[in-house]
């Protein structure tokens, strides 16, 4: 796997890594990350707390928009919850760049889980990015 600025950023991301989020791939405005829903992530309805699903999507969005090199942060984001995540689910988030213009970008992230019937979408996320620094080198 070719390392880029997203990998360097993820190496320093204590919050995401402490939750067990794993970087699968990141490059050219795209990224894939996974997270297993643990007991501490389940809410009072016995489903994955939406904040954790958002965090996985947001982390994957950050990875995708930082693949180009400049330090890039979220300018805003929204999420639509489609299905409930459950204890033990292995969630997979896939981020894709839709467009970049000036210092801004728009990225979509789909979070899904595998079921015996195939992939089931858990959430759809759209993030807006903003470049704040020139470049960050891959290490």
Q: Which domains does the chain have, with CATH numbers?
A: 5-131 (3.10.129.10)
Could you give the 3-state DSSP secondary structure of residue 45? coil
Could you give the 3-state DSSP secondary structure of residue 68? coil
pLDDT in tens, the chain (139 residues): 688 999 999 999 999 999 999 999 999 999 999 999 999 999 999 999 999 999 999 999 999 999 998 899 999 999 999 999 999 999 999 999 999 999 999 999 999 998 888 899 999 999 999 999 766 555 5
What is the distance between the alpha carbons of residues 111 and 10, in angstroms, rounded to a whole number?
19
The set of residues, in sequence order, having a beta carbon less than 8 Å from that of 83 and lying 6+ positions away, is 120, 121, 122
């Amino acid at each position: 796997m070719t390392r880029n600025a997203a990998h360097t950023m993820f190496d320093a991301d204590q919050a995401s890594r402490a939750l067990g989020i794993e970087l699968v791939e990141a490059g050219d405005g795209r990224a894939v990350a996974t997270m297993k829903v643990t007991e501490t992530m389940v809410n009072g309805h016995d489903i994955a707390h939406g904040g954790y699903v958002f965090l996985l999507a947001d982390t994957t969005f950050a990875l995708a928009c930082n693949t180009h090199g400049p330090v890039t942060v979220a300018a805003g984001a929204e999420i639509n919850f489609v299905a409930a995540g459950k204890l033990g689910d292995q969630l997979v988030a896939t981020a894709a760049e839709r467009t970049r213009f000036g210092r801004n970008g728009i990225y979509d992230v789909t979070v899904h889980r595998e079921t015996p019937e195939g992939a089931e979408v858990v959430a759809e996320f759209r993030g807006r990015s903003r470049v704040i620094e020139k470049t960050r080198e891959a290490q």
